[in-house]
């Protein structure tokens, strides 16, 4: 893969920031968008824009075809067995909320267990806290090893016959850990529990096959995989989705409406009340085409190579602490530099044109587990190169020089 050629396809990356060519290392927060996606959005609004599923006019059918065509692309991209199993959502957060408010609340009884890990993003934590409060279910956590990974023996111990739902992140947005979700799904199913996978960070970087994983639900965010903001998807096994009540009621999701009673459309539309995120879906479809053209295996390999290179170079910086495992990690490095506040690190880096994220990364319980209040994080994607890592390292050395008194 040639990151320099790929980078050319991302107009935003051609600019200078604070007098330096931009090095964007915050793709775990949101990825940049290739020209193909920008053009698809432009084309949609310039030629096809209309509401879907209602108009008999030409633009209406073009918009409907584009929207439903995007659904077919998402289904194929993650290996769903049918388009009916793909619900368009705003992103992973909404996907998890649908499962936690519809499926979970209808099946959970007092004393039932929801199993999570302490590495979850708030989006895969708070919806379950709320579901537990509403039903009397209890939350249980698979413990983390010192390097942030989990052991299958612990998964075996924590999941019991009282467990009804296991919800776990595939790739951690802080530790970079890749969790063995296929094995965890097996254990969950052995106990009759369902498993939801938070795919916000895995879908952009690796080949995902929901049928191979045998997960019951899977959530993804378009904006982290070269698509626009405001669009994502919930995958669910058809029988489960069919058994669930919608969470939003209104236009588009109904079949027959009476003054006192109404019925719902079939899947997937019963979960898509109101005018859907049509342009967003079209943009996501274009992003999927783009990612597939590059190849998910190529992207994964590239991200891992960059991470290994970054780990090698960054761990040579005295007083720099990297969090998470040393191997089998995805394309990001979370770190602290001595006692320098991560926001100060990010500010100095920004002055050098290097964009990273600093903060708690929406994982406050994990920050407490790491015994820090916040960290800095550099995250990589297909447009990043070794030169970007070199620029990061140079900027970190400059930060160290600048804050010399706070280090060591």
Which of the residues are catalytic? 362
Q: Which stretch binds ligand 7TS (CB under 6 A): 36-44, 90-98, 188-196, 287-295?
A: 90-98
Q: Does 48 contact ligand 7TS by CB under 6 A?
A: no
Q: Does 376 contact ligand 7TS by CB under 6 A?
A: no
Nearer to ligand 7TS, 63 or 349 (CB): 349
Binder of ligand 7TS out of 123, 167, 374, 375 (CB under 6 A) = 123
Q: Does 280 contact ligand 7TS by CB under 6 A?
A: no
Q: Provide, rounded to whole angstroms, the least separation between the CB of residue 132 and ligand 7TS.
A: 19
Q: Provide, rounded to whole angstroms, the least separation between the CB of residue 359 and ligand 7TS.
A: 8
Q: Which stretch binds ligand 7TS (CB under 6 A): 15-23, 67-75, 88-96, 339-347?
A: 88-96
Q: Does 361 contact ligand 7TS by CB under 6 A?
A: yes
Binder of ligand 7TS out of 121, 164, 194, 205 (CB under 6 A) = 121
Binder of ligand 7TS out of 8, 17, 21, 29 (CB under 6 A) = 29
Q: Scanning residues 143 to 182, which ones bind ligand 7TS (CB under 6 A)?
A: 169, 173
Q: Provide, rounded to whole angstroms, the least separation between the CB of residue 174 and ligand 7TS.
A: 7
Nearer to ligand 7TS, 121 or 400 (CB): 121
Angstrom distances, CA of residue 353 to CA of 33, 110, 230, 295? 19, 53, 27, 29
Q: Does 200 contact ligand 7TS by CB under 6 A?
A: yes
Alpha-carbon distance of 235 to 286, in angstroms, equals 19
Q: Does 201 contact ligand 7TS by CB under 6 A?
A: yes
Alpha-carbon distance of 270 to 88, in angstroms, equals 11
Nearer to ligand 7TS, 63 or 114 (CB): 114
Q: Does 97 contact ligand 7TS by CB under 6 A?
A: no
Q: Provide, rounded to whole angstroms, the least separation between the CB of residue 335 and ligand 7TS.
A: 15
Tell me, letter by letter, the H, E, C secondary structure of the chain: CCHHHHHHCCHHHHCEECCEECEECECCCCCCCCHHHHHHHHHHHHHHCCCCCCCCCHHHHHHHHHHHHHHHHHHHHCCCCCHHHEEEECCHHHHHHHHHHHHHHHHCCCCCEEEECCCCCHHHCHHHHHHHHHHCCEEEECCCCCCCCCCHHHHHHHCCCCEEEEEEECECCCCCEECCHHHHHHHHHHCCCEEEEECCCCCCCCCCCHHHHCCCEEEEEHHHCCCCCCCEEEEECHHHHHHCCCCCCCCCCEEEECCCCEEECCCCHHHCCCCCCHHHHHHHHHHHHHHHHHCHHHHHHHHHHHHHHHHHHHCCCCCEEEECCCCCECCEEEEEECCCCHHHHHHHHHHCCEECEEECCCCHHHHHHHCCCCEEEEECCCCCCHHHHHHHHHHHHHHHHHCHHHCC
Nearer to ligand 7TS, 32 or 173 (CB): 173
Q: Does 116 contact ligand 7TS by CB under 6 A?
A: no
Binder of ligand 7TS out of 27, 31, 64, 93 (CB under 6 A) = 93
Q: Which stretch binds ligand 7TS (CB under 6 A): 53-61, 317-325, 356-364, 400-408?
A: 356-364
Q: Provide, rounded to whole angstroms, the least separation between the CB of residue 233 and ligand 7TS.
A: 11
Q: Measuring CA to CA, which residue among 197, 195, 188 is closest to residue 219?
A: 197
Q: Does 221 contact ligand 7TS by CB under 6 A?
A: yes
Residues that bind ligand 7TS (CB under 6 A): 28-29, 91-93, 121, 123-124, 169, 173, 198, 200-201, 221, 357, 361-362
């Amino acid at each position: 893969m040639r990151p320099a050629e790929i980078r050319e396809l991302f107009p935003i990356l051609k600019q200078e920031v604070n007098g330096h060519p931009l090095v964007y290392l915050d793709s775990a927060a949101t990825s940049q968008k290739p020209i193909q996606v920008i053009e698809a959005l432009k084309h949609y609004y310039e030629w096809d824009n209309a509401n879907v599923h209602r108009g008999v006019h030409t633009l209406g059918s073009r918009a409907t075809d584009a929207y439903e065509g995007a659904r077919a692309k998402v289904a194929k991209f993650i290996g769903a067995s049918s388009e009916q199993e793909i619900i368009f959502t705003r992103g992973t957060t909404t996907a998890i909320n649908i499962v936690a408010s519809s499926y979970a609340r209808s099946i959970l009884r007092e004393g039932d267990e929801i199993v999570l890990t302490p590495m979850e993003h708030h989006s895969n934590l708070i919806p379950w806290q709320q579901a537990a409060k509403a039903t009397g279910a209890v939350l249980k956590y698979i413990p983390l090893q010192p390097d942030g990974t989990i052991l299958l023996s612990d998964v075996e111990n924590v999941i019991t016959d009282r467990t009804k739902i296991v919800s776990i992140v595939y790739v951690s947005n802080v530790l970079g850990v890749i969790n063995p979700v296929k094995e965890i799904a097996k254990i969950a199913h052995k106990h009759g529990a369902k498993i939801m996978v938070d795919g916000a960070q895995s879908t952009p970087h690796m080949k995902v096959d929901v049928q191979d994983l045998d997960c019951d639900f899977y959530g993804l965010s378009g904006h982290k995989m070269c698509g626009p903001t405001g669009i994502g998807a919930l995958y669910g096994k058809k029988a489960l989705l069919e058994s669930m009540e919608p969470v939003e009621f209104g236009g588009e999701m109904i079949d027959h409406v009476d003054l006192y009673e109404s019925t719902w459309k079939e899947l997937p539309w019963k979960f898509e009340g109101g005018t859907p995120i049509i342009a967003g879906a079209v943009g996501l479809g274009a992003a999927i085409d783009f990612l597939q053209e590059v190849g998910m295996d190529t992207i994964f390999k590239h991200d891992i190579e960059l991470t290994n290179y970054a780990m090698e170079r960054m761990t040579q910086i005295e007083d720099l602490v990297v969090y998470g495992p040393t191997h089998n990690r995805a394309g990001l490095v979370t770190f602290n530099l001595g006692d320098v506040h991560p926001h100060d690190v990010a500010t100095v880096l920004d002055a050098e044109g290097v964009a990273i994220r600093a903060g708690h990364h929406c994982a406050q319980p994990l920050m407490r587990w790491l015994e820090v209040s916040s960290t800095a994080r550099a995250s990589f994607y297909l447009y990043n190169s070794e030169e970007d890592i070199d620029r990061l390292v140079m900027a970190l050395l400059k930060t160290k020089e600048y804050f010399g008194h706070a280090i060591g």
